[in-house]
Chains A and B, each alone.
Chain A
Amino acid sequence: MKKYLPSLGFFLLLLFLWETAVRFLGIKEYILPAPTQILQSLGETSALLWEHSIQTISETLLGFILAIGVAIILAMLMGVFPLFKRSLYPLIVVSQTIPIMAVAPLLIIWFGYNLLPKVMVVALVCFFPITVSLVEGLEAVDTDMVKLLLAMGASPWQVFKKVRLPGALPSFFAGLKIAATYSIMGAIIGEWLGASKGLGVFMIRSMNSFLTARVFAAIVVISFLSLAFFALIIVLARVVMPWQQHNS
């Protein structure tokens, strides 16, 4: 915790400068609210924010789980069939040049305004880092370890279960961490394009009414949720990979 003290101090200093600048220059609240005004707004709308957050969190979790499922299936297939990997993997990489913002409206057209398109956006955003890290983790296996098991008479499935899979876990969790930071953003983008509930909707409505402090309040909640999600992945990694604790 101690190592974060300098950055925490610097952050507080920035907030202080922001506060004084807004007050001294007399900037209007709908242009740029002061940190204290944002805090006040957070307090006033906490019940409303909570309700919208629940929606966003469920979209995120569903999309995240969907992405993990698809990533695991594809990565395993690519591990088993090299031709499948050579056909698909370059396409997956190239597909990342398509901005998610451009695809999201299509999802709304196809799947309507309900939960599904948001879950799809989250899954699309998370799918890439998870798949890539898993594929690379499975490939980075120590070939001497594989040889040792084969020499002792192990079957390909035993090699996969006992060496490849556990060996890929650190890389897999690195991918999950990246995906976790993107995931909430994916849900918000989906909500911007059309929804009746969620933090994205709350932001758009606040923006349209020039309630800028509320927009900032939503931003605070979104960053907090992203951070919490990230922390959850780290805790999960420690539980699943107890041998790694010496490193971190």
Chain B
Amino acid sequence: MLKIINLSKTYQTKAEKKGLFRQTLVLDQISLQVKEGEFVSIVGPSGCGKSTLFNLISGLEKPEQGQILLKGREITGEKGHVSYMLQKDLLLPWRTVLDNCILGMELQGHSRKECRQKAQALLDEFALSAYSRSYPQALSGGMRQRVAFLRTMLANKELLLLDEPFGSLDAYTKSEMHEWLMSVWSKYRATILFITHDIEEALFLSDRIYVLSAQPAQVKISLEVNLPRPRSRKMLVREEFNELKKQLLQALFE
């Protein structure tokens, strides 16, 4: 589905002295793959360039080197192929929950009425219909992230990028969100690339995890998470889980 080959990105930063530019290599020959319907996470120390990777895949920035393929077609530097979600929910405050959900479809030129019907059905399914006419302001952080995720999913893109979407939520809400996300995902099998620095989160959610090194980011290991689905919180204390966690920690801190 998504194939990234030898992707490198350099930023020019102004040095202390006037007129001098320093080249900072952020991503160094990153290669990774996400199969259709797979949930893949990228874990790495903060500031390692995870979000840069994100900007490259979404087409907001261009790499110096390497290719990004989606379904076998090169999309390097092209916008419009993915939808994403950040820690900031980025819901439009002037749109109701329902109208926020249809944003992506609307951009593709579908009629509002048609979009609303589709979104309403999804909101009903995931017990959010009571909020469909509310403005985002009236919602709690967890609820807003749920709406943001449904909007991301309803944009009908082949790939969803999630960049630390639950980073600002408290531990309890976060774990609720994980179970909710799994329930939506297992039903619709969207292809997801998930960025986080929370190892347990990555293990709980993913089919596979890539560990990145500190800057310049390189892929250190790729780890298959062969834990049975559906997963529950009980899994967090199982031996296999801890074994995988140990491997991840080793890769991160070696």
Is B truly associated with A? yes
CB under 8 Å from chain B, chain A span 219-248: 241-243, 246
A148 close to B90 (CB less than 8 A): yes
Known: A243-B135, A246-B137. A151 touches B86 (CB 8 A): no
- Chain A contributes a number of interface residues (CB within 8 A of B) equal to 21
Chain B nearest Cβ from A164, distance in angstroms: 11
- Chain B contributes a number of interface residues (CB within 8 A of A) equal to 26
Chain B nearest Cβ from A110, distance in angstroms: 42
The verdict on A194 contacting chain B, using a C-beta distance below 8 Å, is: no
Chain B hits for A153, CB < 8 A: 79-81, 107-108
Beyond A149-B107, A243-B137, list 9 extra A-B contacts (CB 8 Å). A142-B90, A144-B90, A145-B90, A149-B103, A150-B79, A151-B60, A152-B79, A162-B106, A246-B135
Chain A hits for B88, CB < 8 A: 144
The verdict on A147 contacting chain B, using a C-beta distance below 8 Å, is: yes
The verdict on A77 contacting chain B, using a C-beta distance below 8 Å, is: no
The verdict on B69 contacting chain A, using a C-beta distance below 8 Å, is: no
Bound CA span A169–B106, Å:
21
Please, which residue of chain B has its CB at the minimum distance from the CB of A245? B135
The verdict on B47 contacting chain A, using a C-beta distance below 8 Å, is: no
The verdict on A79 contacting chain B, using a C-beta distance below 8 Å, is: no
The verdict on B245 contacting chain A, using a C-beta distance below 8 Å, is: no
A163 close to B58 (CB less than 8 A): no
Chain B nearest Cβ from A143, distance in angstroms: 11
Query: B-contacting residues of A (Cβ < 8 Å)?
Result: 142, 144-145, 147-154, 158, 162-163, 166-167, 169, 241-243, 246
The verdict on B141 contacting chain A, using a C-beta distance below 8 Å, is: no
Query: A-contacting residues of B (Cβ < 8 Å)?
Result: 58-60, 79-84, 86, 88, 90, 92-95, 103-104, 106-108, 135, 137-138, 155, 157
Chain A nearest Cβ from B90, distance in angstroms: 5
Chain B nearest Cβ from A183, distance in angstroms: 27
Chain B hits for A148, CB < 8 A: 84, 86, 90
Q: Choose among A145, A151, A241, A243 the residue that contacts B58 (Cβ–Cβ < 8 A).
A: A151
Chain A hits for B86, CB < 8 A: 144, 148
Chain A hits for B59, CB < 8 A: 151
Bound CA span A242–B134, Å:
11
Known: A145-B92, A162-B103, A166-B94. A152 touches B60 (CB 8 A): no
Bound CA span A150–B107, Å:
10
Bound CA span A163–B104, Å:
13
Chain B nearest Cβ from A31, distance in angstroms: 54
Between-chain CB contacts (< 8 Å), 6 pairs: A142-B90, A148-B84, A149-B103, A162-B92, A166-B92, A246-B138
Chain B hits for A147, CB < 8 A: 60
Please, which residue of chain A has its CB at the minimum distance from the CB of B85? A148
Report, nearest first, the 5 A-B pairs whose CB atoms are least far apart. A153-B80, A151-B58, A243-B135, A166-B94, A154-B107
Chain B nearest Cβ from A243, distance in angstroms: 4
Chain B hits for A246, CB < 8 A: 135, 137-138
Chain A hits for B81, CB < 8 A: 153
Chain B hits for A154, CB < 8 A: 107
Chain B nearest Cβ from A91, distance in angstroms: 32
Chain B hits for A243, CB < 8 A: 93-95, 135, 137
Please, which residue of chain A has its CB at the minimum distance from the CB of B104? A152
Known: A145-B90, A166-B92, A243-B93. A151 touches B83 (CB 8 A): yes
Q: Choose among B92, B95, B138, B157 the residue that contacts A152 (Cβ–Cβ < 8 A).
A: B157
Bound CA span A238–B155, Å:
31
Chain A hits for B157, CB < 8 A: 152
